[in-house]
């Protein structure tokens, strides 16, 4: 267990050069990372099929992926944990979406401080590798084929989760992408927040350390020259249509990506 991740307001991976030996042995760190990742996925899926994959297992398996990243030379930098640690009640986390990495490590960062679930695409709860774990976490599932129906599902099921004190992670972009395009970042999250009367936590992430694979997108290459950055912003109160608050979230993400573009 990695309790130290959420112990303070920030978390920063300590410098380590042990990964150099791994490179010399495996020639390409992608392979050993992939083996460790898939072993974690299969073990979690087995527990989920047995009906014993609970919240503690979810946190632990997320921390395990977190450790795999660091063991393979990834440097993870997290800021702003106090911004949601100190909020009362459930919140909506609105984040850009860059790779598989954020989906895997968000539970280990957020769940120890707030009960949380995801809004996910239908294909994820049907995916042969991830369906058992994802279904066990009671996510809000979208088809991505009918925007009007997806809106209804998020509003109805989102209200239900929030009333039960469960926070929600939403990736308003339609898909993972390395380039953040504000026009594709929909306002669904702020509309739900306005209706439910809960705060929004903007989240900016840079996770291109783990790239997209050519044939299996979640098994892409890793690049140690690219640091992993996750920043949680201050809570935002949403009123009316949430248009202004949506723009605040977009600007938060854009400003952090600008700072991180040189991998600082």
Asked if the structure places residue 4 within a domain, the reply is no
Tens of pLDDT, residue by residue over 172-224, are 987 888 889 888 999 999 999 999 999 999 999 999 999 877 767 777 888 88
Q: In this structure, how many other beta carbons lie within 10 angstroms of the beta carbon of residue 164?
A: 10
Q: How many helices (H) and strands (E) does the chain have?
A: 9, 8
Instruction: Report the predicted TM-score, pTM, of the whole model to 2 decimal places.
Output: 0.93
Tens of pLDDT, residue by residue over 38-72, are 999 999 999 999 999 999 999 999 999 999 999 88
Asked if the structure places residue 76 within a domain, the reply is yes
Asked if the structure places residue 80 within a domain, the reply is yes
Asked if the structure places residue 6 within a domain, the reply is no
Write the CATH number for 197: 3.40.1130
CB-CB contact of 180 with 260 (8 Å) = no
Asked if the structure places residue 5 within a domain, the reply is no
Asked if the structure places residue 206 within a domain, the reply is yes
Q: Find the domain containing 243 and state its range.
A: 12-260
Asked if the structure places residue 2 within a domain, the reply is no
Least confident range from 22-31, 85-94, 223-232: namely 22-31
Please give the radius of gyration of the chain, using alpha carbons only, rounded to the nearest integer. Answer: 18
**Among the listed residues 140, 249, 151, the one whose alpha carbon sits nearest the alpha carbon of residue 203:** 249
Asked if the structure places residue 1 within a domain, the reply is no
What's the structural domain count of the chain?
Answer: 1
């Amino acid at each position: 267990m990695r309790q130290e991740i959420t112990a303070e307001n920030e978390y920063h991976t300590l410098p380590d050069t042990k990964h150099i030996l791994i490179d010399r042995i495996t020639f390409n760190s992608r392979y050993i990372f992939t083996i460790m990742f898939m072993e974690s996925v299969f073990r979690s899926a087995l527990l989920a099929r047995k009906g014993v994959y609970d919240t503690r297992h979810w946190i632990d398996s997320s921390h395990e992926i977190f450790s795999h990243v660091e063991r393979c030379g990834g440097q993870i930098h997290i800021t702003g944990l106090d911004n949601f640690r100190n909020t009362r009640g459930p919140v909506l986390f609105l984040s850009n979406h860059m790779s598989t990495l954020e989906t895997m490590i968000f539970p280990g960062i957020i769940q120890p401080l707030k009960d949380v679930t995801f809004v996910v695409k239908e294909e994820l709860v049907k995916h042969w590798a991830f369906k058992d774990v994802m279904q066990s976490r009671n996510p809000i599932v979208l088809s991505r084929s009918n925007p009007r129906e997806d809106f209804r599902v998020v509003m109805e099921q989102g209200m239900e989760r929030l009333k039960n004190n469960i926070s929600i992670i939403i990736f308003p972009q339609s898909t993972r992408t390395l380039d953040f395009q504000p026009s594709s970042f929909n306002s669904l999250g702020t509309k739900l927040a306005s209706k439910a009367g809960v705060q929004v936590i903007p989240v900016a992430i840079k996770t291109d350390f783990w790239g997209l694979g050519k044939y299996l997108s979640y098994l892409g290459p890793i690049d140690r020259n690219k640091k992993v950055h996750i920043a949680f912003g201050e809570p935002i109160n949403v009123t009316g249509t949430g248009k202004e608050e949506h723009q605040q979230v977009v600007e938060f993400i854009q400003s952090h990506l600008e700072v991180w573009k040189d991998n600082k």
